[in-house]
Each structure stands twice: as C-alpha cells, then as structure tokens.
Copies of this chain bind each other. A is one copy, B any other.
Amino acid sequence: MKIDLNCDLGESFGAYTIGMDARLLPYITSANVACGYHAGDPSVMRATCVAAVSAGVAVGAHPGFPDLVGFGRRNLAVSPTEARDYITYQLGALDAFCRAAGTRLRHVKPHGALYNMAATDASLARAICEAVRDFDPALIVLGLSGSAMLSMAQEMGLPFAREVFADRAYNDDGTLVNRRLPGAMIEDEELALARVLRMVREGEVETITGKVIQIRADSVCVHGDNEHALAFVKRIREALEAAGVEVAPL
C-alpha cells in the first residue's frame, strides 16, 4: 500500500514570498511547481526545481491562468484552444528548469480556477490533456478523484493519478463541497487524519450527508501556508507511515 503526498510549491514571485517550501520538502513526495502565470517567476522556478531534486521530491507542473493579481483563482472564459496553448507554454517553461536541475517533469496538476473548471468541463479537460499528450505522453495527469479531467486522461490513454483532500468534505457524487457552504472544511485534525487513513487504506469516505462512498486515492493534497499547516503535514505523514502505508512519489 502506497500513497503520494503532493503540495503546491514555488508560488513566490519577485520580492514576494509565499509558502514555506524548504521546510515542507522533507515531508512531501511530489511538488506542483507554479509556472509563472498565476505565480512563480523564472528564478523561483529554478530554485524550486533544484530544492525538490535535492530533497528527492518529484517535480510536476502547476499551470494556471494568466492572472497574477488574482493568483489564478478566478474563472476566466478561455477557449479550449487558448487553454491548450497556455498549458503547452507552462509545461515547456518548467521542464527547462527541471532539465537544468537534472530531472524531468513527472506530473501535471492545473491550478486553482483552471483545476476547478477542468474538473467538470470536458472540452477544457480535453484541451489540457492534448497539451500534455503533445508535450510528453508519459506525464501523469494529477486531478480530483472522479473528475472530468481524469476521465479525459483515461479516455486519451494518458497516465493519471487520483487526488484526495484531507481537509475537505465530499458530496455524495464524489465532488468537493463548495468552500462557501457550511461544513465544507474539515477543521478537526483528528477527524481529518482518520479520513485520510480511511480513504487511502479502505478506499472510502463519509460524505457530508453521512453516506459512505468509494473513493480512489493515489495522492493526498497537502498545504504549507503556515506553521499550523506544516505541522499537520508532518502528522499526516507520520500517521500514514505508522499505519504501514508507504509514502512515495507517483
């Protein structure tokens, strides 16, 4: 039994620092590195790739919308063609830093609004998968377990990995409960840990309505925005290892 721990990294920009990348790297196995559109700049990208390689962490691309001031979190009505081209651009840019750091891109996980839109919009998901396929058909598409994004990757024969969230509630259909609704965030740490273990080991999760549904987990998404988040990542890793689950890259 094996699980990946992925986290968004390299989101600093110029004089601006976000995240505690250096302190997180020892605990995660995959880094989703920002590519300069919603966050990140070339020097941050280089440093992040070098640090990830040094920590033995797999590097993936974390492409987003060209919306730095909105941090890629706002829906933008791009055409599928534009989305495809934005992904191609960002994949190439990040892979250049991977090469310079002695590694290659391993996975792709869209960021923010692009991630959410592609989880339900099949034409957008197709456009993203086309960019991935044309760049390197061995890249792993990392997406929300049960999403249109992963269905499309599967349909197109791309390797994919299913991501689950420790701190989010699920609807009965396996989608995430909208953050604005009550109960969307799992704030009780013990409960969150128990849910992660259950999803990883038993392949099931209790939804917001109390129903138990099946869920497949190849990777757990973690966050490193503050001391509290960092401490929780350590606990997740320890709990998984204590339960005999191997924590390893995809």
Chain A residues within 8 Å of B, Cβ to Cβ: 13-18, 36, 39, 41-43, 45-46, 66-71, 73-78, 81-82, 85-86, 88-97, 99-100, 113, 131, 134-135
Given known A88-B42, A91-B96, contact A77–B16 (CB-CB < 8 A): no
Contact B99 A45 (CB under 8 A): no
Contacts of A85 in B (CB 8 A): 41-43, 45-46
Given known A43-B81, A76-B76, contact A96–B13 (CB-CB < 8 A): no
Contact A88 B77 (CB under 8 A): no
Contact B67 A99 (CB under 8 A): no
Contacts of A17 in B (CB 8 A): 16
Task: Looking at the assembled complex, report how far the CB atom of A178 sits from the nearest CB atom of chain B, in whole angstroms.
Answer: 14
Contacts of A78 in B (CB 8 A): 70, 74
Given known A36-B89, A89-B45, contact A13–B95 (CB-CB < 8 A): no
Q: How far is the CA of A43 from the CA of B127 in the complex (A)?
A: 13
Contact B81 A88 (CB under 8 A): no
Nearest chain B residue, comparing its CB with the CB of A79: B74
Q: How far is the CA of A217 from the CA of B50 in the complex (A)?
A: 39
Nearest chain B residue, comparing its CB with the CB of A73: B15
Contact B41 A69 (CB under 8 A): yes
Q: How far is the CA of A68 from the CA of B93 in the complex (A)?
A: 18
Nearest chain B residue, comparing its CB with the CB of A96: B92
Task: Looking at the assembled complex, report how far the CB atom of A97 sits from the nearest CB atom of chain B, in whole angstroms.
Answer: 6
Contact B14 A70 (CB under 8 A): yes
Contact B16 A100 (CB under 8 A): no
Contact A89 B135 (CB under 8 A): no
Contact A95 B92 (CB under 8 A): yes
Partner of A113, one of B16, B18, B36, B77: B77
